[in-house]
Copies of this chain bind each other. A is one copy, B any other.
Amino acid sequence: MGRKITIKEVAAKAGLSATAVSQILNGKGARFSKKNIQKVLQAKEELHYVPNSAARNLSNKTDSTIGVLVPTISNPFFSEFLQLLENYSDAHTHILMVGLDGDRSQLYSAIEGLIGQNVDGLIIAVAIQENSQVTNLLKENRTPYIVLDQNSSKNSDFIASDDFHGGEIVAHYLYSLGHRRFSVVVPDKNAMTANLALRLQGFTETCRDLGIQTTQIQIVKTAFTKHGGQRAVPNILAFKPSAIFTLSDELAIGVLGGLFNAGEQVPRDYSLVGYDDTDYAEFTNPKLTTVRQPVELIAKYVLEMLKNRIADPQIDWQVMAVDVELIVRDSVREI
């Protein structure tokens, strides 16, 4: 096993005690001569000594570690989110990421693992139930955490984009272009979460208000991936809607591939609307009309809110909703 340079080696090189070196490197070296301070800094430099922040985490820490749980790292919405968290956090903040890859049975042990790593706080973008084993684990360990995206919560810090509104604007838009018969592609039970249910609800309730009968709306359940979207296509073709709404861009990319394989054209034969506006949406053929979630804002807010919570666990619950918008590209036509 590797062995790091120790403070004793720095001390030996500088000709001072380990305690003196520790005080100097922790900014408490006012009582030492400039010459000795210089010696220590030079020894640190020459030996490439790295102070141990895992150890410092246990006492008077300067570095902080934030754990982030996402359903799947390789979903572009989450990989963009993770990269933005990195970009927005400072050099003393370390991000411990865990992707469950769709296996929610790992949730408890993943959070236990992160708490064991002594994280200062957690960002949980995976659905958790209130008053569950998981929330008990978090609360009893007094771990500051914030839930987002997949959750609807009244008993924790919470950030969400307005998913109901997202579904609503898609319904209004398609209706305004003459569409009256729809397939909605949604994840199967394993991946269905509070926020996705809200997108669907916003869509169906708005359709009802617009006078569309429920028999004109097909709900297709499938795996929440590109391949899942592709596998939904035979069902969609059998129903013959004029427009398709998928609850993610990944699903839309899959549906687009499946329709293309079946010799159908978008938007000539079927109009298609996605959700997320990941950076693939403008590179599909045709370019994808979709609902944009402001992932930059979400990443910024979530770090800020978690920082507030860590600084003072007693503050009121912080709840933030960010808005969504329809991005019109080329995958929908008027009929």
Contact among B50, B52, B73, B257 for A282, CB-based, below 8 A: B257
Contact in complex: B109, A91 (CB < 8 Å) = yes
A36 at the binding interface (Cβ < 8 Å)? no
A268 at the binding interface (Cβ < 8 Å)? no
> How many copies of this chain?
2
Given the interface pairs A2-B120, A73-B73, the reply to whether A137 lies near B83 with Cβ below 8 Å is: no
Given the interface pairs A83-B72, A83-B74, the reply to whether A48 lies near B137 with Cβ below 8 Å is: yes
A285 at the binding interface (Cβ < 8 Å)? yes
- Least CB distance, A71 to chain B, in whole angstroms: 10
Residues in B with CB closer than 8 Å to A115 are 4, 50
> For window 101-160 of chain A, which residues contact chain B by CB distance below 8 Å?
101, 109, 112-118, 120-121, 136-137, 140-144
Closest to A282 in B: B257
Known: A53-B117, A74-B80. 10 other contacts (CB 8 A): A1-B311, A4-B142, A4-B143, A5-B141, A48-B136, A54-B58, A54-B117, A83-B101, A96-B96, A230-B283
Complex A-B: 20 CB contacts under 8 Å: A2-B143, A2-B313, A4-B115, A4-B118, A4-B141, A4-B143, A5-B140, A5-B141, A48-B137, A54-B118, A63-B117, A74-B279, A82-B99, A83-B99, A86-B99, A92-B113, A95-B96, A96-B96, A253-B280, A260-B285
